[in-house]
Chain A
Amino acid sequence: MTTLPAATQKKLGLVIDLDICVGCHACVTNCKEWNTGGHMAPLTDLKPYGAGVDGVWFNRVHTFEVSVGDDCRTVHFPKSCLHCETPACVTVCPTGASYKRSEDGIVLVDESKCIGCKLCSWACPYGAREFDTDAGVMKKCTLCIDRIYNENLDEVDRVPACVATCPAGARHFGDLGDPTSPVSRLVQERGGYDLMPEIGYKPTNKYLPPRPRRTRSQQIGAPEVLEPAGNGDRLLQWVDKLLSR
């Protein structure tokens, strides 16, 4: 049913720390690796070894440069489905293939009902849905539904593949509907925000902003001014004289 649940028991999602992400694309790779054998398998690749390579991916890392006053900084920006609270990708679906789970808020596609009209991908401003031209159906991030509830995995591994693999700890998984959960506290403390709030889809995933850059030496515990080396040392004075010739 493409009408949305009035409320979900949990709001499972990701918190992505833009201050920490180093843009290594490990989350992109592990996402592809897990999901091409997972719930929405396969993540079809077309012409994978030739020119014009194309394929389905659920997670992408963009790299931006943003001006900060006279300065600027590089921000690596991972982006996958945000599992919105009011996702139009679900309500526009004419067949009931797209749905939002009432128990945990995860947005999924039932491939057996999808007619491949692509309207859901038009409705998503975040580019979360990618069409599999080979299978003729729409595919998307499942928040690794086949990992997070998978009792065959060790408990520590019951997180999405992108979170499990991040070597920098830039991705966090949890219940954003519970204000006391570690992810909710992180959002609270760091001023986590929504992407494109003006569209009004209320994304569940949150982004943590880069921390202000420390530009003064004192901020990292170094002395404010460095003393010139070698004052009073005769050998160094001689070397200085010699080299200054």
Chain B
Amino acid sequence: MHPAFSVIFFTTASGAGYGLLALLGVLGPAGVIPAERWFGLAALALALGAVSLGLLSSTFHLGHPERAWRALTQWRSSWLSREGVAAIVTYAPAGLFAIGWVFLERNDGLWGFFGVGTAMMSAVTVGCTAMIYRSLKPIHQWHNGFVLPAYLALALVTGALWLNALLHLFGLGHWAVTATALAATAAGWAIKAAYWWFIDTNAAISTPNTATGLRTGRVRLIDAPHTEDNYLLKEMGYRVARKHAAKLRLVAHGTAFALPLVLTAATAALPPVLAAGAALLAAASVSLGVVVERWLFFAEARHAVTLYYGAEAA
């Protein structure tokens, strides 16, 4: 599948933003993060900014961005529509939670309740994003049980590492946040490793035989329907070279998971200034790592339509 930059930016930025929002919404009311005004302003602005920029960028790849409002109408059947509705609904509790934290310096009681609501809606929104891909049957690398947990976990990983970095910058570092970041990163790594193992070891159910219904033997394309690439081949036929995929996976393993784990663990042992540096580096590393991971998510996905164009497996 063609990796559109706007979609990669959208899913990674909004994922990190929702992860950060969810953690603020839970750890604030839990008493782990104090309702300090300037930290709240920075963290909530970063989270809502990432979410909003991501949502905005997702409209850039549309043929008719001015009609984007129509995408809110078909929530009964469409995960894309549900994602849009959930994203907009999330602004309500998030906005109230932000008012309480920034203007009243409160993140407990009723204001904490809005925080929990924000966390729940953030999870729902990221879940809807994942389901857009997970529900597409013609793409084996997307239509499997690892996609939904991977999207949720990676949102949490990036959000937790961003939160840890911000807290250290404001001198509010807390062992529970460090522990959350470590646990989320380890879990995200495990899920993503399992995903890659799965797509490497399992074949798609569709084959050139099922695509054509010619089942007496090997089916080989001897004459394509057209001489140049058409829309289908440009959009669905994109495939990353295997050797690059292997290298990029290593980059993703290192920058999204291994390096952040080491750096985050180090923050617990280092003096405050160095700890803040390590936490910031971990946040920067995971931000790069998830972009590589998301690019691979698209580039490694093979669409069943390619079976009509000479692919031996999808």
Contact = CB atoms under 8 A, between A and B. Distances in A.
Which bracket fits the contact residues of B?
A: 35 or more
A123 B136 contact: yes
A77 B212 contact: yes
B272 interface: no
A229 interface: no
Interface in B142-189: none
Interface string B171-213: 0000000000000000000000000000000000110101111
Interface in A39-91: 52-57, 60-69, 72, 74-75, 77, 79, 88, 90-91
B304 interface: yes
B1 A122 contact: yes
B78 interface: yes
Contacts, number: 199
B16 interface: no
A127 B219 contact: no
A116 B62 CA distance: 5
B129 interface: no
Interface in B47-84: 61-65, 67-68, 70-74, 76-81, 84
B137 A62 contact: no
Contacts of B80: 92, 94, 117, 119
Interface in A153-206: 193-201
Given A94-B80, A115-B65, A62 B206 contact: no
A121 interface: yes
Interface residues of A, number: 71
A209 interface: yes
B86 to A, nearest CB: 12
A196 B308 contact: no
Contacts of B227: 53
A30 interface: no
B219 A64 contact: yes
Interface stretch (B103-111, B228-236, B245-253, B256-264): B228-236
Contacts of A114: 63-64, 67
B63 A54 contact: no
A138 B250 CA distance: 37
Interface stretch (A6-14, A129-137, A142-150, A217-225): A129-137
Contact of B78 (A2, A60, A77): A2
Interface of A: 1-4, 18, 23, 28, 52-57, 60-69, 72, 74-75, 77, 79, 88, 90-97, 113-119, 121-127, 130-133, 135-138, 193-201, 207, 209-210
Interface of B: 1, 61-65, 67-68, 70-74, 76-81, 84, 132, 135-139, 205-206, 208, 210-214, 216-232, 235-236, 303-305, 308-309
